[in-house]
Structure 1
Amino acid sequence: MGNTDYDVYTSARVESGVHHRVAVPPPQPFFKSLKYSLKETFFPDDPLRQFKNQPPSRKLVLGMQYVFPFLEWAPRYSFQFFKADLIAGITIASLAIPQGISYAKLANLPPILGLYSSFVPPLIYAMMGSSRDLAVGTVAVASLLTASMLGKEVNPNENPKLYLHLAFTATFFAGVLQASLGLLRLGFIVDFLSHATIVGFMAGAATVVCLQQLKGILGLEHFTPSTDLVSVLRSVFTQTHEWRWESGVLGCCFLFFLLVTKYFSKKRPKFFWISAMAPLTSVILGSLLVYLTHAEKHGVQVIGQLKKGLNPPSAGDLVFVSPYMMTAIKTGMITGIIALAEGIAVGRSFAMFKNYHIDGNKEMIAIGMMNIAGSCTSCYLTTGPFSRSAVNFNAGCKTAVSNIVMAMAVMITLLFLTPLFHYTPLVVLSSIIIAAMLGLIDYDAAIHLWKVDKFDFIVCMGAYVGVVFGSVEIGLVIAVVISLLRVLLFVARPRTFVLGNIPNSMIYRNVDQYPNANSIPGIIILEIDAPIYFANASYLRERISRWIDEEEDKLKSSGETSLQYIILDMGAVGNIDTSGISMLEEVKKTTDRRGLKLVVANPGAEVMKKLNKSNFIENIGQEWIHLTVGEAVAACNFRLHSHKHNPAKDESEPWNNV
């Protein structure tokens, strides 16, 4: 029902001539508008701003600092910073060495490549990266993807040399893609991997990785190359006669040790170093145990000989010929995007904790360049893994020098200590991987998604189920497709609401959200909650017609004042295309035929510009376009009251139009 005091108030406003004409923005040249749109898409941070009004020498310095961020903080570097970075670098090296060997095995690559990949890429990133906390190294998900995608084309056991060369080539193309995205300012593409997608994908990949480690835990020599749950379980339970109890007991003991240390460090954050040192401690204890008991002769598989020396060049090993080049490109693109998303997300998370800013496009260039350099120096794909970066952060790192310290520790290991890993049991590496992967299964995030947004939960579970029961690629595709479908649904089927007046105010809100909001007799106010494009124009036309039909039926059944005005609140309509304008013209024709008046309220600048150019404003009449819903309702109420007192009055006459 209407509000009497409100009716008096609005009539007084109208009679006093309070009405604001909705302005049409001045016309802008097409290329100027296009330039603005492109700038906001590709250069929202305006990287050239700092170069303005600077002398040439200063521009050169700023340019060098932009490409090599370490030049910006290096002059201010102090001995106190070095002490903190030294401790952090040694701590993450103790984690990087066993993890590097483990993840290389996960990728079906020689274990030494895990150490190579923890030497050259961190040095490149330290010079070009903008994050102070990111610790560079190999990651389990990218390792699994590499094994899964390359393993379909080349068997790593039958043709290890070609498989190795394809891994280098995939890393090269991943680096090219990553650097290109940064140089072309296309970082927004990574944003298409939503939070829900990442949660489900990471959890699925972690589950698959853990299942794959049953090979090492049970001491199996033959195992399925497939990653799906059914294939893995079939492979495990059809070889029960091959299970090695010695390996199983050893694996469970070390896994228990790793999980206990992780739990302790989580409860006592000051003792984070206990969890960080646990993998290296496990490797040392496992190697000593095997060496003293000769367990390698009783079914416990060991790494074997690792050759000494730094990274050999591999630029000549890259494969740029058919039929394997497309496999390398596809693997590089998928692993590169996943690694990029993880690295940037981790870097931004820790930057937020320390209240500094990292440039996403700079990070892409840095990660891309380190992978290009890595592919030429016997490394495979690297990024900034969360586990290693968290240890780096907790260890109190100050700058990227911690990556240099870690690289130096790995260099010493490569030059002098690799023979010590000869007796390292593979089951220990499997335990290290499982312990790391369990942390990627984020139950709390999934529960939060279920509570907050069921559709996001479906996206998350789609990614998880696709990875676990299909493959890593299938899970990723499912998640991205569901996310895109959601976006398309929002665009194609935007929400429309009926608005009512909050009592004793000039505020209008959705009547479903605010049941106490009053309807205005003879007027229906509809809010369109999205831009109007070709994809939703037909739907909106039909939905507006249905709202009108429903309102008229309701008024007839209640015997209230008949419907006379349709007010469209377009405050949320950020843009409109020609299909949308045609839709509005058709709605106006429909309302005219039914003896109703169409009123537009709160149109934005872009919408007004297009309505003006299409002559829609001239067609509907300037007096029927209002600045706010309140003014539109006031105008309609004034006309309703005027018509009651003077039925012969022409309703098309403009009222107090100033």
Structure 2
Amino acid sequence: MREQAVFHLEEHGQTERSQWVLDSPNPPPLWEKIFTSVKETILPHGNKFCFSSKRKTFRGRAFSCFQNLFPIITWLRDYKASEFKDDLLAGLTLASLSIPQSIGYATLAKVAPEYGLYTSVIPPLIYAVMGSSREIAIGPVAVVSMLLSSLVPKVEDPVANAHAYRNLVFTVTFFTGIFQTAFGVFRLGFLVDFLSHAALVGFMAGAAVIIGLQQLKGLLGISHFTSKTDVISVLASVYKSLHHQIASGEKWNPLNFVLGCSFLIFILITRFIGRRNRKFFWLPAVAPLLSVILSTLIVYMSRADKHGVNIIKHVKGGLNPSSLHQLQLHGPHVGQAAKIGLICAVIALTEAIAVGRSFASIKGYHLDGNKEMLSMGFMNIAGSLTSCYVATGSFSRTAVNFSAGCQTAVSNIVMAVTVFLSLELFTRLLYYTPVAILASIILSALPGLIDLSEACYIWKVDKLDFLACIGAFLGVLFATVEIGLLVAVIISFAKILIQSIRPGIEVLGRVPRTEAFCDVTQYPMAISTPGITVIRISSGSLCFANANFVRERILKWVSQDEDDPKEATKGRVQAVILDMTNLMNVDTSGILALEELHKRLLSRGVELAMVNPRWLVIHKLKLAHFVDKIGKEWVFLTVGEAVDACLSAKIARA
């Protein structure tokens, strides 16, 4: 009698636990998820701090919301004079690197040099107010500049119609900001993840090689150069240009090459010294600016521009002019501008967030991805209205900012003010700056984009990831930037698709002396229960892509167990238990596959049980009346309870 009472209590507890699964609350509707996502992005911690307390005044609630949108309000209250001293030094060091790099990247983007300087003024100021990173340095970068110079010329010719080309660049920048803002507001950061880490490593390496080859134009003093970006076209253009000069009797002047290589070697030596001795961290930072000053003086004093040395000539100074009326939001090129803007938005965000998180982890604080997207979006929208092109976080300048001891985003403000003063006072002095120096500055920044050790690590860990890496690298190198990105995304999607179509389906057994049920292949000591097959679906979703595969695989296992003489001695399969712990979602194709599986198993006299379906799954199965078809008594909270119930049913039938 006592054993019967204990069994009755256990059965009652098991029924109650199964009811917990069946009575789980319905998941929120889609519109509520979207609203919650927007609310959590705009308001601090949803509405916990803005509206939960009735004691707060409207002013207090508004201030809390502004604190979330503008992090500078939080940390500026505790800002100290000692921190400003560090930020001032870091900002001035950063400006010494940003000024020559910004001019070089502007020429890489095929716009006038002053637009690179403009891009180092307004976007850093906006980011300093809205961004959550303390170290990241904002401005034009090589990869995005190369993207613009390779994609925008397909729509407008930068030589034949420079004005229209520049306007289209501003329009692309505007769309880049719009997409980045949308990513932050609607929490669409997963779109950035479509470009995997491995693909990004390959893309950056390929872009670095292409950017380096394109600098041969300035380094060799070539006037006619291809607009294509693949390695074959670039090398062919260099050969044809030099061959044409020789064939036409023109004397090739090596002064551009000598001048550029000399200062490239100087910059690389200062970088080597800075890495070997931390006390000289400032030396590689000021080396590019020092190179510009010295080379300009050499050209001016020797009149080398009269002997074949190409110079920048006029650089417009002054405050950023408005470009609001130059945006092409109507006309035939809006769609193409939006497409290029989307590509730039993804690449710029991927680079900025990767840079920001790497330095945030060193300092030991969290970088909010959604705030980063919002701040990047707003700064590029503001930049598009003030004659800037796409800005993002730069790894080389961020490393300099970090080494210089920056404490907060004030270093970005100091840098922006310094660049603005340079625009006001010193742009006339850049007239005799040789183009070869800009090429050498860009070349000196490229080694940081090629990470061979990371490529070797990817090959060692995941061969499919390495395939995406090398696909992006070769696509950029031998085709176009778009092809390289497309190849990388296709390979990454193919990897996901293969894993989705062929999910892991594991046969489980009880590990001795435990209540855990594990994969019998991974744990050979796990014991299977005779007459009961326990299967775990190791997939996040049972959907149209994999439902039929899962159904046929389970039926095949059941039929094999019945036909195999070794398994037949253990008894015919009488129950199949599906562990749905890992299953996050199911669609109509998945439900139809489960219904077909249930019918086929019933025709063989086999019961079907479900274990721990997640709330979205059980909600859909109840709506489809699948739970009623298999019976509520065949839904369990744990695998152990399901096995015990199947054994009890087996004994009762016997």
1:423 to 432, 435, 456: 432
Q: 1:13 to 1:446 in 2, by over 3 A?
A: farther
Match of 2:549 in 1: 539
- Matches of 2:486 and 2:5, distance apart in 1: 60
Q: CA separation of 1:65/1:610 partners in 2, compared to 1, >3 Å: closer, same or farther?
A: closer
- Helix, strand or coil for the counterpart of 2:618? helix
Q: Which runs of 5+ in 2 are unaligned?
A: 246-251
- d(CA) in 2 for partners of 1:562 and 1:28? 38
Q: 1:560 to 1:335 in 2, by over 3 A?
A: same
Question: What is the CA distance between 1:35 and its match in structure 2?
Answer: 5.3
C-alpha distance in 1 between matches for 2:6 and 2:401: 65
Q: What is the distance in 1 between the residues matched to 2:560 and 2:364?
A: 53
Deviations 1:556-576 (A, max 9, x none): 588554433322222212232
**Could you tell me which residue of structure 1 aligns to residue 564 of structure 2?**
554
Report what 2:518 is aligned to. Answer: 509
Mapping for residues 44-123 of structure 1, pairs under 5 Å: 46-52=45-51, 53=53, 54-123=56-125
The equivalent of 2:138 in structure 1 is 136
Give per-residue Cα distances to partners, 1:509-532, cap 9 Å, x unaligned.
112222333333333221111222
Tell me which residue corresponds to 1:181: 183
Match of 1:630 in 2: 640
**Structure 1 contact 42–186 (Cα < 8 Å) conserved:** no
Measure how far apart 1:16 and its partner are.
8.5
Cα 1:251–1:546 change in 2 (3 A) is farther
Q: What residue in structure 1 maps to residue 294 of structure 2?
A: 285
1:184-240: CA deviation from partner (whole Å, max 9, x where unpaired): 444443233322232222222112111111112222111110001111111122233
The alignment partner of 1:239 has SS state of helix
Matched to 1:566, the amino acid is V
SS at match of 2:576: strand
| Separation (CA, whole Å) in 2 of partners of 1:108 and 1:480 | 27
- 1:526-555, Cα deviation, whole Å (9 max, x unpaired): 111122223322121111112223333434
Corresponding residue for residue 284 of structure 2 = 275
Matches within 5 A, 1:185-196: 185-196=187-198
Question: For residues 24 and 506 of structure 2, what CA distance do their matches in structure 1 show?
Answer: 32
Distance 1:177 1:591, change over 3 A: closer
State the match for 1:621 in structure 2: 631
1:26 aligned residue (23, 41, 55): 23
Is the aligned partner of 1:347 residue 2:356? yes
Q: Distance in 2 between the 1:548 and 1:226 partners?
A: 59
C-alpha change, 1:197 and 1:293, in structure 2 (3 Å) is same
- The verdict on how the C-alpha distance between 1:316 and 1:610 changes in structure 2, with shifts beyond 3 A counting, is closer
1:588 aligns with 2:598: yes
Change (3 A) 1:51 1:339: same
Q: Quote the Cα distance in structure 2 between the aligned partners of 1:538 and 1:259.
A: 59
> Could you tell me which residue of structure 2 aligns to residue 7 of structure 1?
none
Partners of 2:562 and 2:568 within 8 A in 1:
no
Q: What's 2:449 paired with?
A: 440
1:36 deviation in Å? 5.3
Tell whether 2:237 aligns with 1:224: no
What amino acid sits opposite 2:562 in the alignment?
Answer: E
CA spacing shift, 1:206–1:596, aligned 2, 3 Å? same
Q: Which amino acid aligns with 1:307?
A: K
Alpha-carbon distance change, 525 to 225 in structure 1, aligned in 2, over 3 angstroms: same
Q: Provide, for residues 308-360 of structure 1, a one-character-per-residue CA deviation record: whole Å limited to 9, x for no partner.
A: 32323332333344334444333333223322332233233333333334443
Query: What is the CA deviation profile of residues 220-268 of structure 1, one whole-angstrom value per residue up to 9, with x for unaligned ones?
Result: 1111100011111111222334464333333333323323333343344
How far apart, in 2, do the equivalents of 1:375 and 1:321 lie?
Answer: 16
Aligned residue identity for 2:543: Y
Whole-angstrom distance in 1 between the partners of 2:315 and 2:587: 64
Do 2:520 and 2:526's aligned partners in 1 also have CA atoms closer than 8 Å? yes
Give the alignment's Cα RMSD to 1 decimal.
2.8
Match of 1:125 in 2: 127
Q: Distance in 2 between matches of 1:49 and 1:616?
A: 39
**Counterpart amino acid of residue 51 in structure 1:** C
Q: Which runs of 5+ in 1 are unaligned?
A: 1-10, 643-648, 652-658
Is 2:473 the counterpart of 1:473?
A: no
Query: What is the CA distance between 1:105 and its match in structure 2?
Result: 0.6
Classify the secondary structure of the residue corresponding to 1:524.
strand
**C-alpha displacement of 1:97:** 0.3
Distance 1:544 1:163, change over 3 A: same
Q: C-alpha separation between the residues in 2 aligned to 1:554 and 1:253?
A: 77
- After TM superposition, the structure 1 = structure 2 runs for residues 240-279 of structure 1, keeping only pairs within 5 Å, are 240-241=242-243, 242=245, 244-279=253-288
- Once the two structures are TM-superposed, the CA of residue 288 in structure 1 deviates from its matched residue by 2.9
Q: TM-score, normalised by structure 2?
A: 0.89
SS state of the match for residue 229, structure 2?
Answer: coil
Report the Cα distance in structure 1 between the residues aligned to 2:615 and 2:515, rounded to whole angstroms. 23
The worse-fitting range, judged by mean Cα deviation, of 180-189 and 460-469 is 180-189
Aligned counterpart for 2:315 among listed residues 306, 313, 319: 306
Shift of 1:72: 2.4
Query: What's 2:206 paired with?
Result: 204
Higher mean C-alpha displacement, 201-210 vs 223-232: 201-210
Q: What secondary structure is seen at the aligned counterpart in 1 of 2:159? A: coil
Cα distance in 2 for residues equivalent to 1:17 and 1:67: 54
Alpha-carbon contact 1:371-1:382 (below 8 Å) kept: yes
Q: Distance in 2 between matches of 1:185 and 1:398?
A: 28
After superposition, the C-alpha distances for 1:592-629 in whole angstroms (9 at most, x for unaligned) are 22233333333334333443444433432344333322
Q: Which moved more, 1:208-217 or 1:302-311?
A: 302-311
8 A Cα contact 2:311 2:434, kept in partner: yes
Deviations 1:250-309, CA, capped at 9 Å, x for gaps? 333332332333334334445322221221122223223333443333332221232332
CA shift in 2, pair 1:293/1:471, >3 Å: same
Q: SS of the residue aligned with 2:160? A: coil
Distance 1:572 1:29 in 2: 18
Quickly say closer, same or farther: Cα 1:612–1:558, change in 2 above 3 A: closer
Paired letter, 1:116 = Y
Contact 2:90 2:401 in 1 (8 A): yes
Q: What is the Cα deviation at residue 51 of structure 1?
A: 0.9
Residues 1:650 and 2:649 aligned together: no
1:439-472 Cα shifts (integer Å, max 9, x gaps): 1112222222222222222222222222111111
Residues in 2 aligned to 1:580 and 1:44: alpha-carbon distance in whole angstroms: 33
1:38 matched to which residue of 2? 34
CA distance in 2, matches of 1:440, 1:315: 34
How far apart, in 2, do the equivalents of 1:289 and 1:387 lie?
27
Contact 1:351 1:357 in 2 (8 A): yes
